[in-house]
Amino acid sequence: MFGKSFAICIFVFFAALSMKAQQDTTMNARDLLMHRVDSLRNAGQLKTQTPQTIKQQTIKIDTEESKKQHSPTKATLLSTFLPGAGQVYNGQWWKVPIIYAAFGTITYFAITNWNGKEKFKDEYYARVNGEGPQLHDYLTYSDQSIYNLYTSYKDNFQLSIIIGVAFYAVQLLDAYVYGHLFSFDLSDDLSFNWQPYLSNRTYGLSLSLSF
């Protein structure tokens, strides 16, 4: 009885192994067939691609990547902490000398007007307090003239500060705007046309933008 049971167990065991092996063989054959089909399909796709198509796809991928990587916010932050850095980030390094030349000019006039303001303020207070004229080059100037010179330099100093702040804001705006236009398509396909027209005795102007 034990021998029969053992024989049956051995038979079932080998039968199960045989079924498993057959299943694996079938799956391997199916996988091999699918792999072969995929290979032929990929080969057919490669044959239909010309060098020009591959080049266009590469340019498209590079353009999309540059759009993802280039950040107008980053350009603005760079120009916030270091004027001109955002322009360099946008690829417009030639603007940097213009920016610093403008800031240098504004700084020069601000310092000059500040010194003039302080000089004539001290001169005016000295005269008002009875100390007499202190600036030998302005001995013939009246107290009112000295005060007018003081206010003139003060106003020019304040104007220099305003211009400096405005120019600082302009270079920030420039970095932000050109950060957005970094990947803008400026190809030859862009065109702007206008022409007059007459419809039902009504005159008008037709504008069209093509891209």
Both structure tokens of 46: 């490669």
For the chain, how big is the Rg over CA atoms in Å?
41
Tens-digit pLDDT profile for residues 70-103: 899 999 999 999 999 999 999 999 999 999 999 9
Q: How is the chain split into domains, by residue range?
A: 2-68, 71-182
Q: What is the largest CA-CA distance in the chain?
A: 141
Tens-digit pLDDT profile for residues 102-125: 999 999 999 999 999 999 999 999
Q: What pLDDT, on a 0 to 100 scale, did the predictor assign at position 74?
A: 94
The rounded distance, in Å, linking the Cα atoms of 80 and 204 is 46
pLDDT exceeds 60 at position 194: no
Q: What pLDDT, on a 0 to 100 scale, did the predictor assign at position 34?
A: 60
The amino acid that residue 192 corresponds to is F
Q: Is the pTM of this model over 0.85?
A: no
pLDDT exceeds 70 at position 46: no
The rounded distance, in Å, linking the Cα atoms of 138 and 134 is 8
The rounded distance, in Å, linking the Cα atoms of 126 and 131 is 5
pLDDT-based confidence at residue 10 (cuts at 50, 70, 90): very low
pLDDT exceeds 90 at position 202: no
